Structure 1
Amino acid sequence: MNVAIILASGTGDRMGKKVPKQFLTVYDKPIIIYTLEGFQHNESIDKIICVCLNGWEPVLKAYCEQFNINKLVDIIPGGKIGQESIYNGLISAKQHVTDEDLVIVHDGVRPMVNNKVLNNVIEIANEEGNAVTSTKVTDQIQVATTENSSKGYYKRDGLRKVTTPQAYKFKFIMDAYEKALKTGIGFSSSAYANTMLLDQGETLNFAEGSDKNLKLTTVEDLDIFKSLLKTERAEWIKE
C-alpha cells in the first residue's frame, strides 16, 4: 500500500494573492488539482490524503469531485506549522497502512510531479526504507558573511537540492515524528520531514528528481508553470 500525503495547508503569503496559491486557477484548473492528478494517474499510488488549509476543506472536496480525484480518502485540517501538518497527515494515514507500507509526502504547490519521479522515489524507499527526491546543484552557492556580502562558497559536487515527493516506510517516519514531539528535535517552523530525520542522525537516500518539479512560491514561479504547461504539458503527463 502506497499512501500519498499532499500538503495544501499553506497561506501562500509570498504570492501576494487573496486566494491561497494552491487554489489559484491556471487554465481553468486549480493548482492543487494539477498536483493531485499526478498522484491520481500514477498506478503505484493507492490512496491520497490531503492536508488542507483550515476553512478550505469544502472547496477542496468540491474540486476533487469535479475533477474525479477518486483515490482521495481523507481531507484533514493543517497545523500551525508544516511539521504539524505532516504529522496530522500521518495520523490520518495510520488507519490505511501497515508499518511497512509507504507514505509519500508531497507539497501541494509542486504541480508538475510526474510518473518517473514518483516511481523512482517509491522504488528506492521500498528497497532502503526511505527516499527523498533530489537534483544536483548547478548554481554557485556562496556563504553570506553579511546581508550584502560574501567571503566563501560551497563546492557544488558535495551538494544536492532536496524537494518532494519524499517516501518513507510508515513506522520509520511515524516513530521519528513521535520522537520529535517528545524532544523538539526537528520540529520547528523551518523544518521538514527530511531535515528532522537528519537532525535525528538518520541517513537518507536520494531519488532522481526533476527541475520541472518547481514549487510555486512567487508570481514568477507561476509564470514559469504556465509556460511549462503550454509547451510541454502533453509530454510530462505521458511520462
Structure 2
Amino acid sequence: MKKFAIIVAGGSGTRMGAPMPKQYLEIGGKPILMHTLERFFLADPDSELILVIPKNDFLLWEQLCQRHDFQIDHRLVGGGNSRFQSVKNGLGSIKEEDGLVAIHDGVRPFVEVDVILNSYEEAARRGSAVAVVALKDSIRKLTDDGKSVYQERQYFRLVQTPQTFQLKKIMKAFDVSELHTFTDDATVYEHQGWQVTLIAGNLENIKITTPEDMRYAEYLLNK
C-alpha cells in the first residue's frame, strides 16, 4: 500500500521563548524538522512526505533547506488555524484514495524507525495505530471541589505520534466540522465510532516544547 507521512509543524513556539518557532531551532547542527523528516525517510524511502507549516514560513524553510543542503524530497502544504485544520489541509493534498498515512508532530524528532514501521503495519491490518507509552509515576485526578483522587496508572497511557491510519477512513473522519474534543487525530477517528488501536511508542519520542526539552534533545543526540 502507498505510504504517506504528514508532518505537522504549525506552532509559534511561545513557550520556548526563542526568536523563531521551535520547529526551526537547531539541535545537532540542523533544524528539528529535518531530523523528524529523516526518521520517516529512513523508515520508508518510498513514502511520500508532506510537511505542513504556516504559509508565511515557506521562504524561511526553503532558505534553511539550502543552508543545510537538505535533500530529502517532501511537499510543502500551508497550515491552518488549528492542528485539526493543518492536518485536514495535509490530507486534502493527497490525491490517492487508498493507502496509509502517518500523522506526526514535527517537533518529535526522536521517534524510532521501528515504531513508524509498526504503525504502518498495524494500521494496514486494523485501520489505525496510535503510539503510546505507559506511565511511570503515580497519578491523581483533580475533582471539581478541589480535592484529588488516586487513579490506577495501569489503566492510562501517554499518547504520542505517529498516529497512523488507513487513508480512506481518516479522510472520512476529517470530513466534519472541528470540535473542541478533537485533541489529536485519534479523537477525530474515534468520533466516527471506530476503535483506536494502540501500539508501543518509545520514551525518547518527546515533544520539544520548552528550553529544558532542547537541552534533553541535545543529550539524546550526543547519546
The 1-side partners of 2:23 and 2:11 are apart by 8
The size of the alignment, in residue pairs, is 220
* Number of the residue aligned with 1:132: 130
What RMSD, in angstroms, separates the aligned Cα atoms of the two structures? Answer: 1.8
SS of the residue aligned with 1:79? Answer: coil
* Number of the residue aligned with 1:163: 160
SS of the residue aligned with 2:89? Answer: helix
- Alpha-carbon distance, 1:191 to partner: 1.9
Q: TM-score scaled to structure 1, two decimals? A: 0.86
- Alpha-carbon distance, 1:9 to partner: 1.2
Q: TM-score scaled to structure 2, two decimals? A: 0.92
- Alpha-carbon distance, 1:188 to partner: 3.2
* Number of the residue aligned with 1:67: 70
Identical aligned residues as a percent: 34
* Number of the residue aligned with 2:169: 172
* Number of the residue aligned with 1:116: 114
Equivalent pair of 2:173/2:191 in contact (CA under 8 Å):
no
* Number of the residue aligned with 1:98: 97
The 2-side partners of 1:152 and 1:208 are apart by 27
* Number of the residue aligned with 2:203: 211
SS of the residue aligned with 1:220? Answer: helix
AA in 2 matched with 1:98 = E
SS of the residue aligned with 1:216? Answer: coil
AA in 1 matched with 2:172 = D
Equivalent pair of 1:83/1:189 in contact (CA under 8 Å):
no
Q: Which moved more, 1:215-224 or 1:190-199?
A: 190-199
Q: Which runs of 5+ in 2 are unaligned?
A: none
- Alpha-carbon distance, 1:16 to partner: 1.2
* Number of the residue aligned with 1:235: none
Equivalent pair of 2:181/2:187 in contact (CA under 8 Å):
no
AA in 2 matched with 1:23 = Y
Q: Deviations over 1:30-70 (max 9, x none)?
A: 01101111112222651100001231112223434522112
Equivalent pair of 1:4/1:45 in contact (CA under 8 Å):
no
The 2-side partners of 1:169 and 1:106 are apart by 15
Q: Which runs of 5+ in 1 are unaligned?
A: 232-239
